[in-house]
Structure 1
Amino acid sequence: MSDAAQPTVDEVRAAAEAVKAALDRHLAAVENRSGANDPAVYAAADALARAVDAYDQALDDGHGELLPFEVPVGETLPAYAGPEEPEAVSVLIRRDYLVADPDRLLGRARRVVEPTGGPVGTLNGALGVLFGEYEPDEIASRCEEFGLEEGDSTLWVTAAEPHGPGEWLHEPFEDADPELIICRFDVSSVYDDELAVLDPDR
């Protein structure tokens, strides 16, 4: 139990109700998502994680009890140190994939290349073909068709200085400063695992 002032019974119950409401909002966002990376779903997941964290703290302070799971809420990020009105923003995206079916990956690449070009004989070559042919969002939504298994992903929107054409291409990620993050959205199976504890029937 922490040294903070103990919350009242009503305050603990209010925190629990906030979790229930956040669950409903998250489900509604998922049911109405506009695509594989809908920002509304990310925002609802983040709000749910924060509601669970607040309830966990209230439960500990009020009753000396902890939830049997943890939900990451991005507390390791430093405080925002960028301008209040940025002149420009950078959108940084990382998506990880497991090469789950190399034969399928090669086969899909060969279907793209071989009618007009040479054969594809390596996985690296196949990846170059597919990521050159398809937009990243399309690959994300169809990854199983390409022999890939979706892993974690994150999207950062950071404050940036205006740049002219080609100015940053030689070092595209040099300015990836966590202190300039305006908003961040993470997708990970860890969230599904933690939410499954909340609702074992999922």
Structure 2
Amino acid sequence: MSDAAQPTAAEVRAAAEAVKTALDRHLAAVERRSGEDDPAVYEAFNQLAAAAEVYDELLYDRYDEVTPFEIPGADDSLPPYAGPEEPNAISVLIRRDYAVAEPQRLLAQAQRVEAVEYDGGAGEEAAATVHGSLGVLFGEFEPDEIASRHKEFGLEEGDSTLWVTAADEPAEPGEWLEAPFEQADPQRVVCRFDVSAVFDEDVSDDIDEEDDLEFGRAEAEDGDEDLEPLDAER
């Protein structure tokens, strides 16, 4: 990068001040949180992540130096909320992924539904295939019920996400049905909730690591001079 394109010392200082301000706002939001998933805390986290990223980039460009910390998920976080302060309408966007773990169980459940629907008569052809059975089950049960009973239907849960987005006015009937997620604006997301096995694995790894370290300390207190140090994989 040429000297002309480098940020000034004043720009770096201003970015550092922005990080300090974002830290104060994040702490204040945490102190005032109204619940486990308070959107104000989520928004403050995103603002802190964005400010830290800007500071880190300017610091590197100006001084060839980096910060010693990283905010998890900063690269994947949503931009700051830019929607209406008092939304007149909202949209709830949900995606849930499943693996068809037991096709025969899926087929059997769909065939039971079809048998009841047609009282043992004709019309059970849809439940003869996996894709037809999926149509039968999702046509019969609400998505939340399938989520709670997925194992009964031979399904295995994958990742899921739920976005609540703000709107100025309710959409016209039939307006978005052909492309339900196409107009989702990340800057209008009021709150977002993600569920992933990746998070569970991280927590499990941390718990296992803590257990191993506690075990190592207990052994050391017993006076085992031959105890090898335990490596904490991170």
Task: Give the TM-score range, shorter chain.
Answer: 0.5 to 0.7
1:11-50 equivalent positions in 2, closer than 5 A = none
Aligned to 2:202: 194
Deviation at 1:82, TM superposition (A): 1.2
Alignment deviations for residues 164-183 of structure 1 (CA, whole Å, 9 cap, x no partner): 33232233222211121110
Query: In the alignment, is the contact (CA less than 8 A) between 1:156 and 1:183 conserved in 2?
Result: yes
Is residue 2:146 matched to residue 1:136?
Answer: no
Deviation at 1:73, TM superposition (A): 6.5
Is residue 2:177 matched to residue 1:169?
Answer: yes
Across the two proteins, how many residue pairs are aligned to each other? 151
Q: Please tell me whether Structure 1 or Structure 2 has the larger radius of gyration of its CA atoms.
A: 2
Deviation at 1:144, TM superposition (A): 0.6
Alignment deviations for residues 115-144 of structure 1 (CA, whole Å, 9 cap, x no partner): 413232211100000001001011001101
Structure 2 unaligned blocks of 5 or more = 1-15, 17-26, 53-66, 212-234
Which structure has the highest helix share of the two?
A: 2
Deviation at 1:106, TM superposition (A): 0.7
SS of 1:162 mapped into structure 2: coil
Aligned to 1:108: 109
Q: Distance in 1 between matches of 2:80 and 2:149?
A: 36
Q: Distance in 1 between matches of 2:82 and 2:195?
A: 24
Q: Which deviates more from structure 2 when the two are superposed, residues 182-191 or residues 157-166?
A: 157-166
Query: In the alignment, is the contact (CA less than 8 A) between 1:71 and 1:194 conserved in 2?
Result: no
RMSD between superposed Cα atoms in Å: 3.3
Aligned to 1:178: 186
SS of 2:187 mapped into structure 1: helix
- Amino acid aligned to 1:91: V
Deviation at 1:151, TM superposition (A): 0.4
Q: TM-score scaled by structure 1? A: 0.63
Q: Distance in 1 between matches of 2:179 and 2:94?
A: 15
- Structure with larger RCO (C-alpha < 8 A, sep 6+): 1
Q: Distance in 1 between matches of 2:83 and 2:143?
A: 28
State the identity as a percent: 57
Is residue 2:94 matched to residue 1:88?
Answer: no
Structure 1 unaligned blocks of 5 or more = 5-14, 19-39, 58-63
Aligned to 1:118: 124
Q: Compared with structure 1, are the counterparts of its residues 123 and 84 closer, same or farther at alpha carbon in structure 2 (3 Å cutoff)?
A: same
Aligned to 2:56: none
Q: TM-score scaled by structure 2? A: 0.55
Deviation at 1:194, TM superposition (A): 1.1
Q: Compared with structure 1, are the counterparts of its residues 84 and 114 closer, same or farther at alpha carbon in structure 2 (3 Å cutoff)?
A: same
Q: Distance in 2 between matches of 1:82 and 1:165?
A: 22
- Amino acid aligned to 1:124: H
